[in-house]
Amino acid sequence: MKLFSAYVLSMASSTLTSQSGTQNTAEMSAGRRWVTMNELPRVTPPAPAAAASTAAPTNAPEPTSDEALLAPRDVAQPPNPTFVFHNKLPKSGSTTMKYIADQMAIKNNFKMDYVPPCLHPPCNAKSGDMGDGIGAKEALVNHVKEARPVNDKYFLLKHQYYLNFTNYETEQPTMINVVRDPVSRFSSMYYFNRYGFASMGSQARQGVARHVWKGKEEDIDQTLDECIIKQSDECLEPIQVMVRYFCGTGDECGMKGAGQGAFGAKNDWNKVARAAELAKHNIINNYYAIGIVEQFDASLDLFEKLLPDFFTGAKAAYHSEEVMAKRSSSSTAVKHGFNNETRAYMEAGPLRYEMDLYNLIVSIFKQRLAQYGIVAEE
């Protein structure tokens, strides 16, 4: 089995969610010309000073498709057949994956280790770049050494940047993940930060009293479309989630600059570009399988083909009444959606590097489906 030697990105189907909540199918051209944020047409004309202060620099490196990164390699067997690590991204189906893995652990006889973002609470799991948060290094390795059974299969699920375990004299797990269209993922997190889960978790994780909301009280009801119109830092300086998670824990994966905005440090777009290239390298060379939220059934089919000892029966578990009921409770409480203009702006501007990674993953995913004869849902 070969990983793919060509970056074939023609058109990837995506879902546009309107303000009313209806969904429309649109085509995202993966071969688009990436533009800097100050080249974009304004949704409404903001003050020139605000636009200049939040726009990405005109000399920021553009996303690239490095053919050298796409050299084929043999992955006929899982790199580690008894240790699988899903370093889950936020708002990308990871809670659903937990529900599925809970059932699969019983059916397929493996240890399911669901670890919170912070290994040893209480701590500041939101910072995550040091200690035992989402950027954990030694702390995570030590946890695995303690938690992993000697003669049993082990599935680790945690919000965590990519980590090379071999740097700590520990065998590398088989890495998997699930990603989501970056604009939809950002929208989900945007409203989740305001309103929390529909009904899951403590009261502090539900309703407007969200523990991660950093903005002004009067902006809680602001829609994503309004955020773009107002040129708010919250939308123009988003955390590059996919880039960071696939890039890893190293200093070279840090992307913040010296400038400060209303929601913290602003992005250094040159650093973002460099981190995105490292993320591509890891996606191609160090991940055994990456699924797509928008094609979740096909993703589970692929996981079962590649990792049957862990994922046999996963799709049936996903469609079970138990998992469906839990999924409903873990959805975001309030979702206003966004219009097509907002999508176009985010794709070509603040989330352009995230889109580049997503399109690469979709390309590989589609070829893997074709290789195994898996028919994706429409």
Mean pLDDT of 298-303: 97
Mean pLDDT comparison of 63-72, 122-131, 183-192, 195-204, highest-scoring range: 183-192
Residue 235 confidence (pLDDT) above 70: yes
Q: How many helices, marked H, and strands, marked E, lie in the chain? A: 14, 9
Average pLDDT over all residues of the chain: 79
CB 376 within 8 A of CB 369: yes
Mean pLDDT of 311-335: 81
CB 220 within 8 A of CB 194: yes
Percentage of residues in the chain having pLDDT higher than 70 = 71
For residue 145, count CB atoms less than 10 angstroms from its CB and return exposed for 0-12, middle for 13-18, buried for 19 or more: exposed
Residue 138 confidence (pLDDT) above 70: yes
Residue 47 confidence (pLDDT) above 70: no
Q: Which of 105-109, 189-193, 295-299 has the lowest mean pLDDT?
A: 189-193
pLDDT at 127: 43
Mean pLDDT of 16-38: 38
3-class SS at 241? helix
pLDDT at 84: 98
**Which pLDDT band holds residue 275 (cuts at 50, 70, 90)?**
very high
Mean pLDDT of 305-312: 97
pTM over cut 0.85: no
**Which pLDDT band holds residue 340 (cuts at 50, 70, 90)?**
very high
3-class SS at 85? strand
pLDDT at 378: 64
3-class SS at 201? coil
pLDDT at 220: 85
CATH architecture of the domain with residue range 11-372: 3-Layer(aba) Sandwich (3.40)
pLDDT at 298: 97
**Which pLDDT band holds residue 75 (cuts at 50, 70, 90)?**
low
Residue 13 confidence (pLDDT) above 80: no
pLDDT at 4: 34
Question: How far is it, in rounded angstroms, from Cα 343 to Cα 185?
Answer: 11
Contacts of residue 77, Cβ cutoff 8 Å, sequence gap at least 6: none
Residue 37 confidence (pLDDT) above 80: no
Residue 312 confidence (pLDDT) above 70: yes
Q: How many CA atoms lie within 13 A of 286 on its CB side?
A: 20
Residue 170 confidence (pLDDT) above 90: yes
| For the chain, domain boundaries | 11-372
Q: Decide which of 208 and 23 is more confident.
A: 208
pLDDT at 337: 82
Q: Which of 134-148, 163-177, 324-338 has the lowest mean pLDDT?
A: 324-338
pLDDT at 22: 37
Phi then psi for 110, rounded to 5 degrees?
-140, 165
Instruction: Return the amino acid letter for 26.
Output: A
